Chain A
Amino acid sequence: MVGRLTRVWLLVPFAIAMIVVVPLGVVFTIAVGDASEAWDHRVETRLLDYSLSTLGLAVFVGILALAFGVPTAWRVQTHRFPGRSMLSWALMLPLAVPAYVAAYALTDLFQFSGPVQGWMREHTGRSRSDYWFPDLRTLPGAALILASTLYPYVYLSARVAFASLPRSAMEASRTLGSGPIRTFFFVALPLSRPAIVAGLALVIMETLADFGAVQHCAVDTFATGIYRAWYGMDSQAAAARLSVLLVLGIAAILVTEWALRTRRAHHHNTHRSAPMTPRTLRGIGGWITCAACCIPLFVGFALPGARLLYLAIDRGDRKLASVFDYGLNSLMLGAGSGVIAVVLATCMVATHRASAGHSMGVFKAITRYGYALPGPVLAIGVITALGWGDRTLNDLWASIPGERARLGLVLSGSIIALLVGYQTRFLGIAIPLIDAAYGRINHRLDDAARTLGMSPAGVFAHIHLPNLRAPMFATGLFVFVDVVKELPATLMLRPFNYDTLAVRVYQLASEERLDEAATGALVIVAIGMLPALVLARRLSSKHRTLGAGLHNEEVSA
């Protein structure tokens, strides 16, 4: 029986879901409008290029992310070798490096005038025409950079899957004549496929949403096309149509991932076996494994990190005060968004829990898909929706008798736009994490508290909240860091004359002033390391809440 108060609360999930639904609906509405010449021009000249390069990039990144993430997860989870305990968390560190930062650092390191080629020429006496060197400012180069920073999603989901593989099935395979390699390919991999595909889907969605790295590597994708249509051609409709195509592509990925996951999900229910015990790799085999596992860590974290550190110490941003100002903006936005996301996510999940029996799961599901929206797409949706809001507010304001100044763009021209945009995207992270934590609080505790005379609000305050503190903090931290790293949405939604660290780094790097950008980039990386380390600690301990939450996030996203 749902009481009167609860019925009012049923509106909460609906209202929160609108944060995702409205921007997406707006994008679709604009897309069906008149795009005129801008769209025709795009279709004639660039659409095929965008499609091919976006597809090619997604395929390349997917293959490389699998190559980096799956073997390392397998070795770390099921073997003992030198450096394993360090690698088990260190392999997640590339998550701390935004792809655009890695792109700036790695292209600087390996470009013709960079230190690597310079050193080669100096020590071999060869000139430019005498040797070939791979160019990172190409599609394969961009794919390598993106994969080296995004593979931890595959690594993490594969590790969770490998950790739950039933030992008896693996051993049965061995007693049936299969060696370790055949057992891996024919038993472990098929059983872990849904989780790995979920991680891969996340990698591909991040790839499709990426703007900074692909732009720096001169690869034209839908994300860069949307940005150019919006700013370069000043055509909302053309940008919205490109966005719709991108969203449809992402929807196809999500549907495929969902189909694969649900088709396989029931199989795991048959297992009640103990997890596998790690096998020890001795001698040279152990050291080779260690070296091989270090490769993605080296490319995705150590190399860009070391280059940025060198540039920051050697030259760095001469306006350190400005780094502080931009950093403060980032921190304020991150902290504010983190708190708002935790509050909204907790409201959504708590209401859903309290209204058991009501089909409100759909609202929860909708908000989760916000994370799948690329930054440029949600920026168009949010800024247009808030623009309508501004017009309505101004009309209302003008209708009040008396002389007064116009309200102006109080919604779309202020940090409100940024805060709304971040919620549209990052509630997709916050809700699964809070949901996973809530799921671990037994419903009988609620029942026991109610029979002991506690009101629903009392149950929340005295039973739920104390159990949710750590997950809430972790959730806020994840959102905080993602906001600090977020580039395309910030670039398009920020108010005039209001920059964040990510925007500052982007602007400096776009002007080939990487030595100055290095200081800000390094600060972003340092902040980004926080959740990677928290997650690593949780994963290595027995506390699975966060790991499971993130896994759910991957699955849901």
Chain B
Amino acid sequence: MISDTCSQGLRISRLTFGYGRSTPIIEDLNIEVAPGTLHTVVGPSGCGKTTLLRLIAGLERARQGKIYVNGRQVAGEQLHLQPEKRNVGFVFQDCALFPHLTAERNVSFGIRGRRRRERRMIASRLLDRFGLTDHTDAMPHTLSGGQLQRVAIARSLARNPTVMLFDEPFCNLEVSQRAAIRRDIFEALKADRIATVLVTHDPDEVNEYEDDRTDLS
């Protein structure tokens, strides 16, 4: 049961969304994700998993319902806070690293109000945390799939987000890499007490870290 008071982390209340006038692909959805917990979203292709993440991030506009981030309403019937103002991190399926920037500059891209030197220090620290110390000046096209994924996560974490969204982050990785990357990511997120929503088509792979689950099928 969803509480009436706005909790910390992420809260979604009676969310409905559809493209155009078609039948809603998400209807009357309620989710609550506390800080430091992992919420997985599962379901068949086309059921609206990625759309849900895009709604939370502000990349799509909700038709009905409300979304709260860290107690602040970011989406409602008359309200749509732009993505850059929500403090929500999004790790895209293809990582979406900026191909013209080095790993370090990708990570520091979202850091604001600090001097260049400080931004570099923060970025280096984060890259170090994900085992990418030797790749700070690497261009994205020189990195492996696992390294790209780690840079993308470091980039989102650099802004100290309240909520992190993952869109099938492991599907493009080799099986041998997945366990190590999963561990690195989820330990970091729990340590930073970030509310995390993860979309996956294979829920078994995150069983050991999962706190709650929504099935959109």
Contacts and interface: CB of A to CB of B under 8 A. Distances in A.
A512 interface: no
Contact of A178 (B84, B139, B155): B84
Interface stretch (B23-31, B87-95, B186-194): B87-95
B6 interface: no
Interface stretch (A133-141, A146-154, A260-268): A260-268
B84 A187 contact: no
In the complex, which range does the number of interface residues on chain A fall in?
A: 20 to 34
A168 B94 contact: yes
A175 B99 contact: no
A176 B156 contact: yes
Contacts of A171: 57, 59, 83, 90, 92, 96
A169 interface: yes
Contacts of A187: 98
Contacts of A177: 84-85, 87, 110, 112, 159
Contacts of B140: 267, 270
B114 interface: no
A175 B94 contact: no
Nearest to A170: B96
A32 to B, nearest CB: 43
B168 to A, nearest CB: 12
B159 A176 contact: yes
Contact of B109 (A173, A264, A266, A268): A173
A544 B139 CA distance: 30
B217 interface: no
Contacts, number: 82
A187 B105 CA distance: 12
Interface in A138-194: 166, 168-169, 171-179, 186-187, 190-191
Contact of B82 (A166, A174, A267, A268): A174
A176 B86 CA distance: 9
Interface in B45-60: 57-59
B197 interface: no
Main secondary structure of the interface of A (DSSP, over half): helix
Main secondary structure of the interface of B (DSSP, over half): loop
Given A176-B155, A176-B156, A264 B100 contact: yes
B141 interface: yes
B67 interface: no
Contact of A272 (B59, B84, B89, B94): B94
B128 to A, nearest CB: 20
B97 interface: yes
A171 B89 CA distance: 11
A273 interface: yes
Nearest to A179: B84
Contact of B139 (A169, A179, A267): A267
B83 A174 contact: yes
Contacts of B94: 166, 168, 271-273
A167 B97 CA distance: 11
A166 B98 CA distance: 10
Nearest to A168: B96
A143 to B, nearest CB: 30
Interface of A: 166, 168-169, 171-179, 186-187, 190-191, 264, 266-273
29 contacts: A166-B94, A168-B94, A168-B96, A169-B98, A169-B99, A171-B57, A171-B59, A171-B83, A171-B90, A171-B96, A172-B96, A174-B83, A174-B84, A175-B86, A176-B109, A178-B110, A179-B82, A186-B109, A191-B98, A266-B141, A267-B140, A267-B141, A268-B99, A269-B141, A270-B97, A270-B140, A271-B94, A271-B99, A273-B94
Interface of B: 57-59, 82-90, 92-94, 96-100, 109-110, 112, 139-141, 155-156, 159
A-B complex: 4 closest residue pairs judged by Cβ atoms: A176-B110, A267-B99, A168-B96, A174-B83
